[in-house]
């Protein structure tokens, strides 16, 4: 009996070793055939460290480098061949137009390489949607570009960074993500850069697409896409960052009760070429501000009305001054207006762009 048991055990051991070798071979083959995803790190909470596992505010963001971020997710090796690069290492409140342009140019260079399947950008969540929408307008490829971040620093208990990186790389490596514009992936959700926005300062489920919905979900690391985006994006826009070293100054002026006009005057005096009004309700402007807004328009500044409510459309209304920002929130309207002003000063053409993109 024991003889048979030994034989059985040896057979098991032999089987384990030989299948182990076979698994190693398959893994090696898979490694070389897996899609290549480039990860560009810019900083943010995802690269942040705190003093203890319970610290989720007041930590330092933008500390860990791209390599460290990627090493924290061993399962990436099953999904893609991943390479990491550091573009910046800052909290996203410190993302400048200069960083945006550097990032966009690098993304376009990488995507033009035949061996690159897709690109992931790790980013602070505070202005993540602005970078994502900027890229959505200037990336010249149908390959997937995915922006991700985290709400908890790397040192926190149940940090969401590693899972978000794995999900972002999974989507970027997926052929089903092609041609959908730039995507925002966090917390199991796949959103379009055009519609997704940060809605809560603290919680993990902060990114929402309140009116238009997410375009997909990740279940068991498999992306499921449901909705196509109707607005034009990436290869369908006229914006070309390859020759740009700077972007026109566009400011946002926030509407409120007893709003004076001097914030508009200050923006114009500072040299703004565009102003986005974060108007109350459906982009309404106070009577007290109209003389300053008119002065700005008379000087050739392009004014666009948007809504400070964060969702909904701005309708035509002869009581107010400015182009209509469609349903873009003020921060995304600013991104589009900056790019629009790189190709035209004609208000009619800018208005058309706000309907198209």
Residues noted as catalytic: 45, 125
* Phi (first) and psi of residue 332, to 5 degrees: -80, -35
246 to 5, 103, 236, 266: CA distances (angstroms): 75, 13, 22, 21
**Residue 44 binding ligand GLU, by CB under 6 A:** yes
CB of 183 to ligand GLU, least distance (A): 18
Nearer to ligand GLU, 129 or 326 (CB): 129
User: Is residue 66 within 8 Å of 83, Cβ to Cβ?
Assistant: no
What does 73-140 look like in DSSP terms, one character per residue? -TTHHHH-EEEEEES--S-GGG--HHHHHHHHHHHHHHHTSTTEEEEEEE--STTHHHHHHHHHHH--
DSSP assigned state of 321: -
Of 35, 40, 41, 61, the one binding ligand GLU by CB under 6 A: 61
Stated as kind and residue range, the H or E segment containing 22 is helix 2-33
Based on CB atoms, which residue is closest to ligand GLU, 117 or 147?
A: 147
Give the integer Cα–Cα distance in Å for 92 and 7: 62
Which among 39-47, 181-189, 265-273, 339-347 is the span making contact with ligand GLU, rule CB under 6 A? 39-47
Give, as one character, the DSSP assignment of residue 33. Answer: H
Name which of residues 153 to 182 contact ligand GLU (CB under 6 A).
none
Size of residue set near ligand GLU by CB under 6 A: 12
Q: Report the number of secondary-structure helices (H) and strands (E) in the chain.
A: 10, 14
Range 90-149, binding ligand GLU (CB under 6 A): 91-93, 124-126, 149
CB of 198 to ligand GLU, least distance (A): 8
16 is written with which tokens? 């384990």
Q: With respect to ligand GLU, which residue has the nearer C-beta, 187 or 286? A: 187
- CB nearer to ligand GLU: pick between 123 and 180: 123
Residue 100 tokens, joined: 């945006």
Residue 6 CB burial class (10 angstroms; 0-12, 13-18, ≥19): exposed
Minimum separation from the CB atom of position 98 to ligand GLU (A): 17
User: Least CB distance from residue 151 to ligand GLU, whole Å?
Assistant: 5
- Is the four-CA dihedral 329, 334, 340, 345 of positive or negative sign? positive
The residue of the chain with the least Cβ separation from ligand GLU equals 124
Residues 296-355 binding ligand GLU (CB under 6 A) are: none
Task: Give 91 or 144: the residue with its C-beta nearer to ligand GLU.
Answer: 91
CB of 62 to ligand GLU, least distance (A): 7
Write out the H or E segment, with its range, that includes residue 40: strand 36-41
Nearer residue to ligand GLU within complex by CB, 43 or 283? 43
Q: How far is the CB of 332 from ligand GLU (least distance, A)?
A: 16
Residues that bind ligand GLU (CB under 6 A): 43-45, 61, 91-93, 124-126, 149, 151
């Amino acid at each position: 009996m024991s003889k048979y048991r030994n034989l059985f055990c040896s057979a098991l051991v032999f089987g384990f070793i030989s299948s182990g070798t076979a698994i190693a071979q398959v893994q090696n083959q898979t490694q070389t055939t897996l899609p290549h995803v480039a990860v560009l790190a810019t900083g943010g909470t995802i690269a942040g460290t705190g003093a203890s596992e319970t610290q989720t505010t007041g930590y330092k963001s933008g500390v860990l480098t791209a390599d460290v971020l990627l090493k924290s997710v061993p399962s990436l090796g099953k999904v893609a061949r991943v390479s990491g690069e550091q573009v910046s290492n800052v909290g996203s409140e410190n993302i400048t137009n200069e960083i945006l342009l550097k990032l966009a140019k690098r993304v376009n260079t990488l995507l033009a390489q035949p061996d690159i399947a897709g690109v992931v950008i790790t980013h602070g969540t505070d202005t993540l949607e602005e970078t994502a929408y900027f890229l959505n307008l200037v990336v010249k490829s149908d390959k997937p570009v995915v922006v991700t971040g985290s709400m908890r620093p790397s040192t926190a208990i149940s940090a969401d960074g590693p899972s978000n990186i794995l999900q972002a790389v999974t989507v970027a490596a997926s052929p089903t993500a092609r041609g959908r514009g730039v995507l925002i992936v966090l917390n199991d959700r796949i959103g379009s850069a055009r519609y997704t926005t940060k809605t809560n300062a603290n919680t993990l489920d902060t990114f929402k697409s309140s009116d238009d919905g997410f375009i997909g979900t990740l279940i068991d690391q498999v992306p499921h896409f449901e909705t196509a985006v109707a607005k034009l994006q990436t290869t369908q826009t006229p914006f070309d960052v390859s020759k740009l070293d700077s972007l026109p100054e566009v400011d946002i002026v926030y509407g409120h009760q007893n709003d004076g006009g001097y914030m508009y005057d200050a923006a114009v005096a500072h040299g703004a070429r565009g102003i986005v009004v974060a108007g109350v309700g459906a982009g309404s402007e106070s009577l007290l501000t109209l003389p300053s807004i008119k002065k700005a328009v008379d000087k050739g500044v392009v004014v666009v009305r948007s809504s400070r409510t964060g969702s909904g459309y701005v309708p035509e209304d002869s009581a107010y001054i400015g182009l209509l920002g469609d349903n873009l929130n003020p921060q995304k309207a600013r991104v589009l207006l900056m790019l629009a002003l790189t190709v035209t000063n004609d208000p009619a053409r800018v208005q058309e762009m706000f309907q198209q993109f």
